[in-house]
Amino acid sequence: MSHSVPFESTSESAESKRPALITWFILPVLVLLVPAATWQLLGKDIPRPAASGAPILFTLTSLLVLERLFPMHRSWNKRPDGLDLFLLVANRAVDIAVLAGTVGFVAQFGEALKLGTLWPTSWPVALQVMAGIVIAESVRYGIHRFSHRPGFWWRVHRTHHEPERMYSLNGPRLHPVNFLWVTAANTVPLLLLGAELETVILVINTTVVFVIFQHANVNFRFDGIRHVFATPDMHRLHHAKNAPSGGVNFSVVLLIIDRLFGTFAHREDIAAHGIGLADNSPQWTRTVHSGLTTRTRQ
């Protein structure tokens, strides 16, 4: 059973006005357009990384522009952070490498375990993608929640929580080790069950739309969408400094999983309490087992 975790009440930000009606259509359009464009490009004679990457680049660019037109908080509209840009490129390379290196091995392993015939290949592609999103989201939820426990996994995952503002590039801001296990959650279960690589790519791209969308600094209008999907207002609670220590709203796509496992929280605007780490981190924070040094403000 879900429950609401209490947060201090806040007044509506002076920078936030009633969102424009057009912003309601942004998520539905992207969720339909990106998989459709990806599917079309995968059928062309172009490399798979380009076919899958172009729609994501379009999504990221579109939301960065919309952040300027309809900002939730104008103070968050600054130049992109250098580490965010670096991790965007580095993690794209990790994504390509994981897919290239594991697809054959995982598929053969699935066949050996007699799992490869479980995937509903006779279903329409759209239904296969929906099924894939539910499976990947369930695995990803467990991993994400576990990564908020004290220890090595949190020290890796905290790279994602260090920024004190939220904007589109925060979504891909993951330590490469963190991105590696996220990519594995998105791909390995589906490949083991016998899903085609193209279907897996469609699941990944649809998920990435939500990753970018839920971090975007856009004053969106939701009107019901937030009851089903992990919208930015819900995800800001996950990044709030005053969030409960165990974490809330871990879902990337479907909030229903947080509701089922009691980690759902609801509060429209907590920006006045701050985004980022709650502890007194040193100015220079070195992430464990990485070559990255991130500079964070007190």
Could you read off the pLDDT tens digit of each residue along the chain, which spans 298 residues? 444 444 433 334 444 566 677 788 888 999 999 999 999 999 999 999 999 999 999 999 999 999 999 998 898 998 888 999 999 999 999 888 888 877 777 767 766 666 767 899 999 999 999 999 999 999 999 999 999 998 999 999 999 999 999 999 999 999 999 999 999 899 989 988 889 999 999 999 999 999 999 999 998 877 678 888 998 888 998 998 877 767 889 999 999 999 999 999 876 544 446 888 875 443 333 333 333 433 433 3
Domain assignment of residue 11, yes or no: no
Q: Distance between CA atoms of 190 and 98, rounded to whole angstroms?
A: 14
Range of the domain at 214: 27-228
pLDDT recorded at residue 5: 43
Q: How many domains does the chain have?
A: 1
* pTM for the whole structure: 0.84
* The pLDDT value given to residue 103: 75
Q: Give the CB-side neighbour count of residue 170, counting CA atoms within 13 A.
A: 25
d(CA 197, CA 187): 9
Indicate whether 35 belongs to any domain: yes
Q: Is residue 252 part of a domain?
A: no
CA–CA distance, 84 with 77 (Å, rounded to integer): 14
Residue 210 included in any domain: yes
21 found inside a domain: no
In a domain? residue 18: no
> What is each CA distance from 192 to 65, 105, 126, 186, 196, in whole angstroms?
38, 9, 19, 11, 10
- The torsion angle over the Cα atoms of residues 86, 73, 165 and 180, rounded to 10 degrees, is -50
User: For residue 8, what are its two tokens?
Assistant: 């201090």
pLDDT at 265: 85
H helix count then E strand count, the chain: 9, 2
Q: Is residue 238 part of a domain?
A: no
